Structure 1
């Protein structure tokens, strides 16, 4: 069993940054499985594709916060009636009963359910009738429907603003992407860097899956007439890594900078980012960057 498979069996809380970094880095360095892409040439020239990759954790990212609802002050004793049962109905058809002293807000019920079910409050939605109840609403009925939801994917603009606010080494893919894209020196000022990077805010941003990753790589292989010609071992690796990212990250996505191989001067390049918000640290995301490049 390889590292991605072993990690997919771990509880989310046990998957460390080192585990994530090792899994993604080792996948990118699995040379035999990437050889069909390295062997691809452009315009019949006998120049191989060079593939570079790195992995980075972006702390305190400029992405919408997904923290647990603030616990409101509990009602005073004289304001409480006797505890009453509340039935929480799951989509599976199962039901959980908890006792809540009335009146209790939705936020407080979610915190009770977090203790009972082990599901963070910010991933819960309570439904009454056909409407989701806001956190500040008071629960008055005898039952509510429960829905577990994932936070949305990180928006491309939030991703770009976050990486601009991080320091980068000259050898990083982000640094090299700027050099390839502009043929200019890396900006010293953050506003200048932000202006450049936001020019790419319309980049493709799709849910990460084996299919979306293979489709993105097919764009590079298409000029060789080799689109879809991925070895089975490579497809299996992509499936494992996509499953691993879904296990340790909320709503991972694939961002594709260009619509196709981008020609600039004597270079042809293609940039991909695999991005996911860590389940263990919701304000941190991991990004694996790929740069495919060859001379033309």
Structure 2
């Protein structure tokens, strides 16, 4: 965490102390997230949870464990769509999958899986390409509520038209409706999509490597980190990838300007898909 100085406003001091308390009490580390993003989210949390100050929020957090999941809803990104940015998934399908076919078994890590939209997108893509049976998927997030939602695989029915359009534009070879059942304003994705999935609580900020992956997809997460934390996470991904494994980032993210930039090479530059350099 950046040291507190006399130049910081009272609000920034309160926020830094709140983040320190969150780390010391529960081991969730947001101290090196971009301050502008954290400040915006915490202001929203303070207003909607009706706290007079961040100090009052910190007091509740320290003494009431029920406050933790409420706060994490604001600090972690929970908004996504299935096959979001269809060109990214088309690039995985057309350029990455041919390389993955050469392996007898595969491991895929969806880092920061949120409520599961990206996970189900990837599993469906791998099923359509005939790779699902030989693949073990790891879906991780720091938010337990998000992980529970991902494991349930239930989404609002009104989101399905967007999911369907994205799937088609990504090069989908089947109908998305083959994978879910609709009832009572919701859709439930088939349990078979989860048979090769391991759901796990994992922090990119504090936790270590837990396997050798052939593909890591972590999109729209690094944009919330400062440069030191980006370097830490990209180093984690580099150490987690198999030889010549693939890393997919979000549209506004890059390995450029990172101290790990030379360990990756552009693979599909337009879609921010990189390949680990073979040493």
TM-score, with length taken from structure 2: 0.26
Identify, as 1 or 2, the structure richer in strand.
Answer: 1
* Higher RCO, 1 vs 2 (CA within 8 Å, ≥6 residues apart): 1
TM-score, with length taken from structure 1: 0.25
- Determine which structure has more spread, i.e. the larger CA radius of gyration: 1
